[in-house]
Amino acid sequence: MTTTSFFFPILLISLTFSDLFVQIQGFNFGINYGQLGDNLPSPSDVAVLIKSLKVSKIKLYDSNPDILSAFANSGVEFIVGTKNEDLPSLRDPSNARRWIQQNVQPYISQTKITCIAVGNEVFDYNNPQLTTSLLPAMQSMYNALVSLGLAQKVTVTSAHSYNVIASSFPPSSGAFKQDLIQYIQPILSFHAQIKSPFLINAYPFFAYKGNPNKISLNYVLFQPNSGSIDPVTNLHYDNMLFAQIDAVYAAIKRLGHTDIEVKISETGWPSKGGPDEIGATPQNAEIYNSNLLKKIEQKQGTPARPSVPVDVFVFALFNENLKPGPLSERNFGLYYPDGNPVYNIGLEGYVPETTGESYSKSKVLSINFVCIFAFLWFTWELSRH
């Protein structure tokens, strides 16, 4: 009895430093890894940061080969993306096949690529060529995956901005914009056919910024509040993000589908903004993201789908100094490019000063030492009884 009770803490310590423990204890949330900065750390150093954060999924806006190589054998799942300007070309099956052969096939044996996001917020550009190319490009990419024997590992989707929603409150009234239904309806049928998720970028921050006098800050920050009740479903909502998710489900159902999962491909809160960007502070960003992570950790579902844990990709990993637009766009990161956290949300991570390779070697040595020490101590304790 004494030996067992003495050995267990040592075993726990050794597991704490092991990759096995990291994988078991990893948060089931994703993060957007943007690259619009001229001062960002190398992909190999980012791989160390992600591992220390125990993030399980990453979403890219391209298929950067250096990033995909840096995460080889990491177990982290990847959504890779195509550029919007490539959509007309990707309608062609031969071009779609070539894209996958160049951007997915060389890496998938070691890097866990699970999804291709064909375009990003395409409908926001009001470009008829992009709009009409989106679904054919998605279909060509999926058919190419099938022909290359990859469709069981990799699925196809596209990320949409919340601007595609015309009505979102109450959530049961959720509906897509009328002029987009002719494009979204066949996209939903495609999702249902191949069983891929509908991705939506949802930002309660923008709703609050646009109407701070009528929208409760506590409601958008997941803080205690009286919330609201949907008069049709009688469901109670105490935060805006979950209401937004259920509004998307309602909009999809309105077009005849209850067989498509909704995932949040982007959500976050800026730590800094311009004079007109009310609410963009480090304090609010910390509250929003820390409360969001708590809900993810607790596997919470929305009021309309309580048994389905929300699936979220936080935006974003780093502040990106080359992003265009208002000041807030460059301040959504959890981390500064030097690896220091912008604020504390309970995730202990770091960018190493050394290269990723040397760090990995030293970590392996330290893990081996701890495990060997624990084993020798256990053997010694047994010999005494």
Q: Which residues are catalytic?
A: 121, 266
Q: What is the H or E stretch that residue 331 is in?
A: none
In degrees, rounded to 5, the angle at the alpha carbon of residue 25 between the alpha carbons of residues 21 and 29 is 140
289 CB-near residues (< 8 Å, 6+ apart): 268, 269, 314, 334, 345
Q: Residue 158 corresponds to which tokens in the numbers above?
A: 């596209």
CA distance linking residue 137 with residue 192, whole number of Å: 17
Kindly report the length of the chain: 385
126 CB-near residues (< 8 Å, 6+ apart): none
Q: What is the H or E stretch that residue 3 is in?
A: helix 2-16
Name the residue among 157, 168, 350, 331 with its Cα closest to residue 176. Answer: 168
Token pair 């001229």 in the structure block, residue: 38
Which sign does the torsion angle of CA 210, 211, 213, 218 carry?
negative
Which sign does the torsion angle of CA 89, 136, 119, 103 carry?
negative
CA distance linking residue 18 with residue 370, whole number of Å: 9
149 CB-near residues (< 8 Å, 6+ apart): none
CB 335 within 8 A of CB 49: yes
> What CA–CA distances, in Å, run from 259 to 249, 253, 330?
10, 9, 36
Angle between the 356-383 and 2-16 helix axes, to the nearest 10 degrees?
Answer: 180
